[in-house]
Amino acid sequence: MKLYFKFIKNQILITVLASVLYALVLFSLIFIINSNSYIYYKISPYIYASEIIDFFFALIVTIPFSYYTHFMIKDRFLDYVSVRIPKNKYLNIYFLATLTLCFLMVFFVNISGIFFSNNIATIHFLESKHTLENYILGTMQMKNPIMFGFIWSFYKASIGVLICLFAQIAALNIKNLFLTLFIPFVYVVLENFLTSILGISRYSITTAFVLNRLTHTSMSVYNIVLAIIIFLLMMFIFWVGLRNYYDKQG
């Protein structure tokens, strides 16, 4: 546990800075959208604002954490550590601490954004309006946004952890800093583009973390779970491919 909290301490400053920047952008977008759009539900400003910033979600959960990992590997710190503690154990504790910080960042920024949206939303009452009823937990989104916010923020933070893990695998195996920082983002963007071209956006990992992104018929629990499984499979293939490549390189 001592080593775990040491890793937390080492990365807490960059996590706080990233969280503040993430929150400022999200809150600003919520404020702007609430001031310039027709709002029917208290959660709506958050939904529209997060959809904009979620284009960069893979970068948000990658850059603050991969940078530290990259230089830990580049400086050959693991070679010295392995004398005192098994390398795999050290890395497991390090990844656990890193993913914990990523989870907390995404969770608290998003739940804060939903609270902010709920408090400032200027509701337009119309007899005929777009309903969220058919989306997953749609009734809760409309009638109890705070309760939904806790569930959604926990879920979205979990997706953020998966993308962050992808980034950690890249940082552990790739020596180029640019590739280390941007591979997960490029993957998410390309996957989103290809699935859109093929007409299967419902199976994209982007659909899994962008709230109410597609029509409610496309955003079923089955489709989202399958999108996550596909992402995990691709991450596993990426990891195995990197290991085989470096094994052949000697």
Query: For residue 205, is pLDDT > 70?
Result: yes
Residue 16 pLDDT class (50, 70, 90 cuts): very high
Contact 13, 65 (CB under 8 A): no
Would residue 76 be called left, alpha or beta, if left means φ above 0 and alpha means ψ between -120 and 50 degrees? left
DSSP for 80-126, written as a single string: HHTTTS-HHHHHHHHHHHHHHHHHHHHHHHHHHHHHHHHHH--B---
Would residue 199 be called left, alpha or beta, if left means φ above 0 and alpha means ψ between -120 and 50 degrees? left
Q: Around 247, how many Cα atoms within 13 Å sit in the side-chain half-sphere?
A: 6
**What are the domain boundaries of the chain?**
2-249
> Which phi and psi (to 5°) does residue 123 adopt?
-80, 135
**Tens of pLDDT, residues 56-107:** 999 999 999 988 887 777 666 666 666 577 878 888 899 999 999 999 999 9
Dist CA 112 CA 98 (whole Å): 21
Query: For residue 236, is pLDDT > 60?
Result: yes
Q: What is the mean pLDDT of residues 197-204?
A: 94
- Angle, helices 177-197 vs 145-173, to 10°: value is 120
* First and final C-alpha spacing in the chain: 35
* Type of residue numbered 4: Y
Dist CA 149 CA 50 (whole Å): 13
Higher pLDDT, 207 or 74: 207
Dist CA 87 CA 175 (whole Å): 18
Dist CA 168 CA 94 (whole Å): 10
Q: For 19-33, 74-88, 104-118, which range has the lowest pLDDT when averaged over its residues? A: 74-88
Q: For 91-105, 109-123, 236-250, which range has the lowest pLDDT when averaged over its residues? A: 236-250
Dist CA 165 CA 236 (whole Å): 11
Query: For residue 15, is pLDDT > 80?
Result: yes
What are 119's two structure tokens? 């408090």
Note the pTM of the prediction, 2 decimals.
Answer: 0.92
How would you write 144-180 as a 3-class SS string? CHHHHHHHHHHHHHHHHHHHHHHHHHHHHHCCCHHHH
